[in-house]
Amino acid sequence: MRIAIIGYGKMGKEIELHATHNGHVISHVIDFDNINEIKKINSSNTDVAIEFTSPSSAVKNIISCFENKVPIICGTTGWYSELDNVKNFCSKHNGTLFYSSNFSIGVYFYIEIAKYASKILNELSGYNVKIEETHHTQKLDSPSGTAISLANNILPFLQKYKGWKKPDNCAHNYLPISSKRIDDTTGIHALIFESDADIIEIKHTAKNRKIFAKGAVLAAETFYNKKGIFTMSDLYNTIV
């Protein structure tokens, strides 16, 4: 395939390595210093775009790909408040969007395990629940999209919590999500159940960015020729 990379930071470079290793060709590399060249990405020269940029630019990049008939895989988080608007543009242009807060298949399994544990522990009294996430200092959004996705997936099973909030503004009936930013930390997510007697911790640690690049390229390979909006659950269903 001919792949355009939008966002040439650490993830963009990792995607380039994995894509070329899989035999794909890089049609364009777009970064902040040549962002206007995104208009050159179109269906005549590119089969799919993979986008890892910033919350402030992601929606513009997605819409540009829709307008130029290029399927897009988006790993940027922090823009989901505009998802309804993006869905309308996707429908209008008969486009293709695959988006995820985390492209690790392992994280998808992790969330499924967390849902099961939450369902069981909800039946037991005395446990308070919290989420802790740690990422590198360059990550702009906080909490991480994965932490928010984890919270939204387990909250239906936790009757004592009405929603989630950051710890500094969190009443007892809200699930707290705390964030840390530490140099050279790829990504750690921990779901913690704590009582007076014990602590149960379910954790996922990304050792490096390779797993995210592998997942993003796999999503591109799987969905570039399909129309509509897709997520990791759709990818999971194609491989199990």
Distance CA 48, CA 50 (A): 7
* Residue pointed to by tokens 């009757």: 159
Annotated catalytic residues are: 135, 139
How many angstroms from the chain centroid is the CA of residue 19? Answer: 19
Distance CA 101, CA 150 (A): 10
Distance CA 168, CA 176 (A): 9
Residue type (1 letter), 190: A
Residue type (1 letter), 152: N
Distance CA 50, CA 99 (A): 10
Dmax (CA) for the chain in angstroms is 63
Contact (Cβ atoms closer than 8 angstroms) between residue 65 and residue 72: yes
Cβ atoms within 10 Å of 172's Cβ, excluding its own: 8
